[in-house]
Amino acid sequence: QQQVKQSPQSLIVQKGGISIINCAYENTAFDYFPWYQQFPGKGPALLIAIRPDVSEKKEGRFTISFNKSAKQFSLHIMDSQPGDSATYFCAASTGGYNKLIFGAGTRLAVHP
């Protein structure tokens, strides 16, 4: 199976709060898990990515947690800001080719 399942579909967080978006996958051949951020009228922008040999990766306010045994990974946005309001996509790919399988997306709204 090639699917990547993402939840929730939408999320409302207060400024300063933590935003958490979850993804699950089935294909154990996936070995690269990026997160993309997309603003209206723009293409997706790579935020942060992880490979299955580590359980966590942090870049600024963004953290990926990866659970290989559960085949799940999540994005945590600490100290969420109104400027973080966007649609977030998780994705996965297998080595050898640039072919990203995307989750359905999460629309995040951070209220001031």
Partner 1 sequence: KAGVTQTPRYLIKTRGQQVTLSCSPISGHRSVSWYQQTPGQGLQFLFEYFSETQRNKGNFPGRFSGRQFSNSRSEMNVSTLELGDSALYLCASSPDTGQGREFFGPGTRLTVL
* Residues in touch with partner 1 (CB under 8 A): 32, 34, 36, 41-46, 49, 89, 91, 93, 95-105
Closest CA to 36 of 50, 46, 49, 26: 46
Q: Shortest Cβ distance from residue 14 to partner 1 (Å)?
A: 27
Q: Which helix (H) or strand (E) holds 87?
A: strand 86-94
Alpha helix segments (H runs only) across the chain: none
Nearer to partner 1, 80 or 86 (CB): 86
Q: Shortest Cβ distance from residue 73 to partner 1 (Å)?
A: 14
Q: Shortest Cβ distance from residue 64 to partner 1 (Å)?
A: 14
Q: Shortest Cβ distance from residue 93 to partner 1 (Å)?
A: 5
Nearer to partner 1, 38 or 72 (CB): 38
Contact 15, 64 (CB under 8 A): no
82 three-state secondary structure: helix
Nearer to partner 1, 83 or 95 (CB): 95
CA angle 6, 7, 13 (to 5 degrees): 135
Nearer to partner 1, 18 or 46 (CB): 46
